[in-house]
Structure 1
Amino acid sequence: MNYRFYIFTLLLFFGGAINFSVEAQGTKFTASVSKNTVAVDEQFKLTFKINAQASNFQAPDLSDFRLYSGPNQSSSMQWVNGVMSSSISFSYVLSPRKVGTLTIGEAQVNAGGKAFNSNPIKVNAVAANSQSKAQATQPQGTKQNNSNSGIQEQIKDNVFLRVVTNKASPYIGEQIVATYKLFYRVDVIDLQADKLPDFKGFASEEIEIKNNQLPEENVNGNIYRVAVVKQIVLFPQRSGKLQIDALKLKTVLRVRTQSRRRSVFDQFFGGFQDLQYDIESKPISINVKPLPENGKPKNFSGAVGSYSYSTNLDKDSVGENEAINLKVVARGTGNIALLPEPNFKFPVDFEVYDPKVNTNKTVSASGMQGKKSFEYLLIPRHSGRFELISEDFSFFNPKQGKYVVVPGKKMSIQVGEAGNSEGPSAVNFSTRKEAVKFVGKDIRYINTGDANLVEKDDTLFGSKAFYLALGSPFLLLFIVLFMQGRMNERNSNQGLLKRRRAGGIAKKHLQKASQLQKESKQVEFYQELSSALFGYTSDKLGIQRSDLSQQSVTEALRTSGASEPDIIEWRELIEACEMARFAPSSDQDAERLLQRAMKNLENLESSIA
């Protein structure tokens, strides 16, 4: 019996070797789509497949399509009727952006030292209300063939999708990790997302899955293989009962069938069939607890997590008009991107520029953590000793179930006069006295020559010019002191100074936002645009940063005489920026948003009294 098995194994090996040599000579690189006719915004799958080992895959231009996933690379090696074959696939999940006949160009890949190009494909994109017609005109090969009820029951019992969370009752703003797990006891050949969850009521950050295979699990007495399909960090935005929506997948499964052909290979391996099958998880609900009112600090800004703060000056002794760098760094776990700007009490003699904000975060299965830094540029305009005070920062720690207050810090800065690095120099005067000796006669004769006498009033001493020259230094000193006083009064009024500079500072923010948009840095673009809108209204209307909100700005704009359309436009711009920053899946036209912001600030500048 054993020698028959060895002979059979050798036949399989040589058959595979012959197949590999044939495949090497007939390498094919093809492109295919799951649907040739789709509605606008309807998802379909694009697959590039090569029947050989390949590298340096170059995708075609997909600008006419919205990208949901990809490129997703997968490889397979299988035996079919005793013949071994291998292939590599590169797949995308796309949807058309517009109606019409859209062409997907050639992709390129290297295999065996040669470059191979795929075939171009045309996709017919129809209007959304023609979706039913589009589904009716799909190729017959893409429709599910689930006529065999016995196979359907076998699939139902052997593969399912489930969503689990690491917390069932979090606080508002507390991060939870939602994991979509695929449990299966049949071979999964392919899968793609058909319907993604909306996560209404949550802010979300998707986790990059590096290893999606998990240990096997026992479910109702059956052992299942487990794979992670999707993993997301969620931050509840309101209290009460919130629902985590279902995820729907389209899969291709390989199931065992009863074959009438009873060849030696069927007897040894059994018969298999590949079937398309839809899997959908069940939505789950979580109970979000409100933050407690007991012990809530007055300056609480909504931060939830565990954080530490450090505040440092690069120097504490400078001269007038010499720059100082102030850096505040927040570290911890939680929604680090939403940490607010710290509050400081800056001396009125200091010119303070808007901080440079840098966020460095990592998102993993344990949640979001990282650091956020704020760098301020300070320029003292007058000499003296000044105190810079940072206000307390508070956050809610969900593990401890209480509020934590990080005390503020008081820093002293010595500002010396410009160019007064050395002490006053001492000047020594020596007086040399000599006795005047008259040699000859002690009585002088009357001078009979030309004496060159002048009248008393004609001399400089005692004249108007003399007194004018004598009083001019005092007049000049009075003018200097008067101008200095006016300048001090003007600089001491920080609110007036910010009001005058509001438009110029906002213009700089918009210029930087334009540059970020050209560099395709979308998150930084919307952050800079939001800073321009909020910063302008804060400086122009004299609203403290700690009191800055849409409601406070709206009321101040109405009071200052801004028109209602400009106020509504300002609110819509802020909401669009917030949506794009904290919900990256939202589709915003960045260039149009920038032009609207410029126009809105121009209108406000001309209408605010």
Structure 2
Amino acid sequence: MKNKLIYILLTLASVIAYGQVNLSMEADKNEYGGKDIVNLTIVLELNGTDLEQQTKFQLPDLSKFNIIGSGSFTNTFIDPATNTQIIQKISRIALEPKKKGKIKIGSVLVTVNNKIYKTEPFDVSIKDIADKRSLAGNTSNEVYLNMEIEDKEVYQDQPTVAVLKVYSRSIDNLRKVKNIRLPQQDNINVHPINFNKSEIDPSGYGNMASQVLAMFMVFPNEAGYVEVPSVSASVSTYSSKNKIVSNKVKLNVKKLPEGAPDYFKNAVGNFKVNVYNASKEKAEAKKPLNIVIKVSGEGNLPDMELPKIEPSPDYEIFTPKITSRVSPGTTGMKGEILASYVVIPKKTGTISIRTEKFAFFDPENKEYVDLGQKTLALDALSHEQVMEARSTVEKVNEYTNNLLETVNTPVLTTTSFKVKEKSKFHWSILLINIGILLGLFAVYLLFKTWQKKRTLVRETVSSKSLGSVAETEKEIRELLKTDMNDYFSYLENLKDNGEFEKFFVTLEELDHEIRKEYSKATPAEFKAFLESYKGASVAEDYAKLQQKIQIEKYAPVKSDEGIEELLKVIVNLYSQISK
């Protein structure tokens, strides 16, 4: 009989425990100093699978506080004693008191399975606080920043997304927030995603309107608890400019698993490595080559250590030029990074250019991926072998191309008629080139005949009035004005055909013609003239362009990307000058 009674009591206890809802709210302490933050913790515990939360937490009146931060998370586990699923939903709110004294914090309401649950109200005591001026000039219209990071547990060098929001009781104040400065710290790397403002949400915490200001990725580069510092911004009004800062967020950064290869450094994500020869010419001993290591994928791409070219007695290597082409992705920064090396073979024959071994950690599969070593095999020839390898057709084509390019005018872009190298002899191409030469000669004869006739006609025409000095200067300037578009077209053709030496010769000719228009002999005189004629900005751009031209001109290996970027600057600047 006694055993039956115990069994009945245990059954009743399990029935009572099943389907139980517990809701509570408490502060971290009862008394606060003038600069202390009131931290509220709201816990909703659902014991049972048939319980459904139908509404969000309905907060009490918090108008006597400034809400400076909030966050929430959910825990789910099984109680081993009762084999019941328990769901815990925890929210935390950080408050800044506006006045001293005893402040009552009301009840939090929530509806579960059509039943309303509420917490018990309680009081907190606030000591003397210093008077603070409102950021927006009105205590009822203050502005606050809040940084939210949902995923606070990540691996080392794995990104997590942060969202920056602004709160204010006045919607007009949201438009005054500017000059956002993302956090900077040695143990994190920050990369912006966007600074696009969202639509204004009129129903934020404490009946405050809110708006998303920015999103950015945070890459913690050390394990342990890492605190992301505050984001700062300014609130600009007609009379003043005030600085505001957000809350700080602490991350739990997990250490990378054991078993990493010895040559693993800090690459976290998913990547591929490729090495190739970007030079168009054949490999020749004692001549520089442009060898590129390309790392592509998604992860901590801008911050990772790239694999390098291993040194060898067979070749000489120089410090690479790094080109980054990355953009925000879903699991990190995605795109590609190019490391362009200048490599000079020291001997003839087969040369193997090897990269360092490379491995990365894949956080999705939680494993290390070993890509090993990449090798590029080159057959370096001597100068005599390169010259002997040229066929008769290549020699004829080179002679024809050189002859076409000696025409001293950018108007006739004869480089478009250049003959590309062919493996077989084509008589039709040779005949076409000969026809072009004869046509050019005929055009030259016609031009000289027309010029003589024009000189005779001019001598028979009576002299016109000289006009004013201003009109004469204008007429002379129009006659001397250089046709910029012809030069730009000619430079474009030289760039596309990889004839960089003639590119810079033509560029010097263009600069000389432009300076000649304004009677300036040297670039320094022309810069001083531009400063008074076009302004200091254009003059400074002209000086920077001259430096950039010298850097690209004397680079051991010319890259297509560098020349193309240089040409864009040239077209833009000289177009401004000629207006």
Normalising by structure 1, we get a TM-score of 0.36
Q: Which has the larger radius of gyration?
A: 1
Q: What is the TM-score with the length of structure 2 in the denominator?
A: 0.38
